[in-house]
Structure 1
Amino acid sequence: MKLNKKLLASGVLAATLFAGNAVGAVSAEEAAKLGKSLTPIGAEKAGNGDEIPAWDGGLKQAPAGYNDDGIYVNPFPDDEVLFTIDQSNVDQYAENLSAGQIAMIKRYDDYKMPVYKTRRTATYPQSIMDETVENATSAQLIKDGNGIGNYQNATPFPIPTNGVEVIWNHITRYRGGSVARNVGQVTPTTDGAFSVVKFQDEFTWRTSLEDFEPDKDPNVLFYFKQVITAPARLAGNVLLVHETLDQVKEARRAWVYNAGQRRVRRAPQVAYDGPGTAADGMRTTDNFDMYNGAPDRYNWELVGKKEMYIPYNSYKLVDRSLDYDELIEAGHINQDYTRYELHRVWHVRATLKEGDRHIYAQRDFYFDEDTWQASVIDHYDGRGELWRVAEAHAMQFYDQEVPWYAIEVLYDLLSGRYLALGLTNEENDPYDFGVERSSREYTPAALRRSGVR
């Protein structure tokens, strides 16, 4: 087996570091489909002969008007709405929608889904695609799916054979190596009133550290730091996470700095259904980035692939001329600024294991085949009732060759409230890719410096 030289220096663990049976790698014959009938990431390269086009390499060139400043302009300003899905015709399109999307349309008279031409803009740097192809015959699930071995910095399972492989593709997907963001989060009341919580957050993959050492902290996948900058009552509070790859072997390391108390403490509740930061009870910790963390509390069923209308190329939602008062409405965001397209998705169902606890007893995930990002997730409570609906309004960060989210929304069908995270319209310097960070900046000792008001 030929392994890339970065295999053991990739920020994840080799299979030999784990006990337990290893499964996952596909045959060389299967892997040979990558780059041919399949894209290098594992999507079907061909279109469907109708609405979904063939993948032609994705959007790699910035459009006119982009100033290389992290203020993303719409590369498709002349695209028009083909049709709109609303209460008058939702049943006609039901087979291409999730149960949660249908429920949102039926709950709100003014909720609609404007559908546009499908554009397969997703792409990654060539090195990431090359490493994905190598992962296909080497990456393996270990510890009953709670870790990955023989894996390097790319999609581990481009040809998945089970549901937990798909969830790992989402968790480990490439987001630029290191990036800093200035974003807002809102949790409107039922009448639409809101205040904005503002964050400075950073994701840095271990291999992107300035002082990266292959043998140092090999179970860490990435480092995450989040500083609240507004409102004043919360400003200065900091969350630090060392995201471990095998969180059963070693739980996620998390610390919080409370600016009022000027104190750093461990935060074991930053996992699973622990409360999300400053979210007013509207999301769990593992709702961030649509889903994150250890997969061990759920059974993961790969239901299959289907065509579905999902949020895509959502550049209108980051338009600098759009302010938060125009975007945030009662019950849901202003759907006039959304864009839905027909894409193929992987459907994965997560059901809570007997004896484990979580406020969500079942989740139905729909992952975009071109990116492995979760696009829509329906959440069910312990009674089996549909409770919350998450949508990720995705876009291609074309100057970085990074697919990611413009904003994430999580709708609560029972309370009529929701959370929107990742807002950038009114934020300065919303995205900074390629930030230089060292391991010293992601230590508990560094938290107090980050949290001074």
Structure 2
Amino acid sequence: MKLKTSARPWRQGMLAAALLLSLGAAQAQSLDELGKSLTPVGAERKGNAAGTIPEWTGGIAKAPAGFNIDKFSTYPFADDKPLYTITAANMEQYKANLTPGQMELMRRYPSYKLNVYTTRRTAAYRQSVYDNAKAEASSVKLVEGGNGVTGIKKSNIPFPIPKSGIEVIWNHIFRDLGGSVTRYSADFPVQSDGSFTAGKRIETISWASYMDNPEPNRILYFMNQITAPANSAGEVALVHEPINQVEEPRLAWQYNPGQRRVIRAPELAYDSPGIGADGLRTNDDLNGYNGAPDRYDWKLVGKKEMIVPYNNAKLADRSLKYTQIIGKTNINPDLLRYELHRVWVVEANLKPGKRHIYAKRVFYVDEDSWAVLHADQYDARGQLWRVREVFGTQIPYVPTFASSGEVLYDLQARRYLVNALTNEEKQPEFGKKYEVSDFSSAALRRMGR
């Protein structure tokens, strides 16, 4: 019922209070469905009407007997064959389930295609992630402007039933990777002629909720050490990521091996160029999206069925050489797996008076894991500029939903950047316990040396 403008203020107040109560009751009822009609992290448990998306039955929450991490790429769907392949020639047939970025890549690069497989809803987390999400969901709130949350202690899914785009993004930022992870990886800025030079790094991330005595107001601690090429080796960056970024902005430091000293590095945020990326990504591009969301207005477009990268264990095959993965214009498509999944679509538009090289960003966030799997990013003219793909993969022995790598295609520069490949590197290490002192400026200086 529409209120008349002549309604008395007290009546408007009573109606508003009644509306808030009804909304509160609906929210409480919805939260009761976690672990029932909804998965423990808030996804729809049931499949779709067409039967092309199955029911979620728990994902892959543990590795089977005899599981060998070095043969991870052959598990568990190595015998699957593509249901169909999408190319520029037939993409119009599937455009309802494709992003603008995917279609533009097919138009530009004949070697870019999507091999689409049977949908497998493998995403699963540790039981503590499920328990904390349900226990804290009713108390978690956005701070003013959405640039942070309050009422959270241990949860990695602050908003399992999101009501806004910013809540979806906070779920992505908070989501768990086994409590902590140390990842040994390689990045490749690929030039327009297909040539590239590997950059290598050691990344260590620990979630504050996984630590015994973290500092107040912390989501996670992050250390990034460059080990190659030689002219960059020894650079180390350290980030303390706050929960409430209204009260406290991101804290960042950098060790410069030339100067042999640690300096504060507030520029390690937003659209400043990412280390080792040859100008092909911003700092907040990494991992699909990271950092403070305050420069954008976040619109929740809704949930859609989209063809996205999923179950990409094959890309992590340790028998593969990087030269077999990286092509002239795009990653070898026969090493990639795409599936039809329900995703939250979130559109971010730059706020008036704020600055960022991306005027608009559209994110596609997996309902089962809260991971960004795809992002289309636009310049100030409204032109599609960069296309990000994150090759989602369930890691059963943790369990967590991570990735086998990322790629960002720059349509204007006609170059692309591959991030976080691990094929020729050491295996990642999940679940190690860290202390706050492991992420201090003193630790940063020791690591640089």
TM-based fold match above 0.5: yes
The equivalent of 2:325 in structure 1 is 327
In the aligned structure 1, how far is the partner of 2:46 from the partner of 2:445? 52
Aligned residue-pair number:
424
Farther off after superposition, 24-33 or 171-180? 24-33
- Amino acid in the other structure paired with 2:445: R
CA distance in 2, matches of 1:409, 1:235: 23
The one of 396, 419, 422 equivalent to 2:420 is 422
**Is residue 36 from structure 1 mapped to residue 36 from structure 2 by the alignment?**
yes
Q: Alpha-carbon deviations, 1:344-399, whole Å to 9, x = none?
A: 01011000000000000000111010011101100000010000000110000100
Q: Deviations over 1:383-416 (max 9, x none)?
A: 1000000011000010001001111111111111
More off after superposition, 291-300 vs 255-264: 255-264
1:167 aligned to which of 161, 166, 169? 169
Deviations 1:310-356 (A, max 9, x none): 00000110001111000001111111100000000101100000000
Measured against aligned partners, the alpha-carbon deviations of 1:270-312 in whole angstroms (never above 9, x if no partner) come to 0100110111000000001110011111000001111000000
Counterparts of 2:74 and 2:423, CA distance in 1 = 12
Tell whether the 8 Å contact from 1:65 to 1:73 is kept in structure 2 after alignment.
no
- Distance in structure 2 (CA, Å) of the matches to 1:189 and 1:290: 22
Contact 1:246–1:294 (CA under 8 A) maintained in structure 2: no
Paired position in structure 2 for 1:431:
428
- CA-to-partner distance for each residue in 1:205-256, whole Å, 9 max, x for gaps? 12333xx33xx62112111001111111111110111111122321111111
Q: SS where residue 190 of structure 2 aligns? A: coil
Q: Secondary structure at the match of 1:269?
A: coil
On the 8 A contact 1:63/1:75 being kept in 2, the answer is no
Is 1:236 the equivalent of 2:234?
Answer: yes
1:187 counterpart SS class? strand
| Aligned residue in 2 for 1:109 | 110
Paired residue for 1:179? 181
Structure of higher CA gyration radius: 2
Query: CA separation in 1, counterparts of 2:195 and 2:70?
Result: 31
C-alpha distance in 2 between matches for 1:296 and 1:137:
24
Query: Which residue in the other structure is 1:48 paired with?
Result: 48
Can you give the 5+ residue segments of structure 1 that lack an aligned partner in the other structure? Answer: 1-23
C-alpha RMSD over aligned residues = 1.5
- Report the Cα distance in structure 1 between the residues aligned to 2:406 and 2:174, rounded to whole angstroms: 18
Aligned counterparts of 2:437 and 2:138: Cα–Cα separation in 1: 35
The equivalent of 1:156 in structure 2 is 158
CA distance in 2, matches of 1:444, 1:266: 9
> What amino acid sits opposite 1:223 in the alignment?
Y
Q: After alignment, is 259-268 or 288-297 more displaced?
A: 259-268
Does structure 2 retain, via aligned residues, the 8 Å contact 1:66–1:72?
Answer: no
Q: Distance in 1 between matches of 2:209 and 2:367?
A: 26
1:192 Cα deviation from its structure 2 partner = 1.2
- Alpha-carbon shift at residue 64 of structure 1 (Å): 6.5
Equivalent runs, 1:86-235 vs 2, <5 Å: 86-151=87-152, 152-209=154-211, 212-213=212-213, 217-235=215-233
Contact 1:70 1:431 in 2 (8 A): no
Task: Give, in whole Å, the separation in 2 of the partners of 1:75 and 1:444.
Answer: 42
C-alpha distance in 1, partners of 2:291/2:99? Answer: 24
Once structures 1 and 2 are overlaid, which stretch shifts more, 271-280 or 30-39? 30-39
1:443 is matched by which residue type in structure 2? S
> Are the equivalent residues in 1 in contact too, given 2:143–2:244 (CA < 8 A)?
no
| Partners of 1:163 and 1:83 in 2: CA distance | 32
For residues 216-295 of structure 1, the aligned pairs below 5 Å read: 217-295=215-293
Q: Is the 8 A contact 1:247 1:293 kept in 2?
A: no
Which of 25-34 and 419-428 deviates more? 25-34
Moved more, 351-360 or 189-198: 189-198
Unmatched segments (≥5 aa) in structure 2: 1-22
Is the 8 Å Cα contact of residues 378 and 388 (structure 1) preserved in structure 2? Answer: yes
Counterpart Cα distance in 2 of 1:69 and 1:81? 24
Of 383, 393, 407, which aligns to 2:381?
383
Q: Is the 8 A contact 2:342 2:366 kept in 1?
A: yes
Percent pairwise identity: 50
Q: Is the 8 A contact 1:135 1:157 kept in 2?
A: no
Q: Deviations over 1:50-92 (max 9, x none)?
A: 2100000001232566335695543111000110000110011
Where does residue 409 of structure 1 map in the other structure? 407
CA distance in 2, matches of 1:64, 1:103: 43
Q: Distance in 2 between matches of 1:410 and 1:128?
A: 30
**Aligned partner letter, 1:97:** L
Offset at residue 33 of structure 1 (A): 1.7
Q: Larger % of helix: which? A: 2
- 2:338 aligned with 1:336: no
Where 2:219 maps in the other structure, the secondary structure is strand
- State the partner residue of 1:445: 442
CA distance in 1, matches of 2:128, 2:199: 36
CA distance in 1, matches of 2:155, 2:357: 32
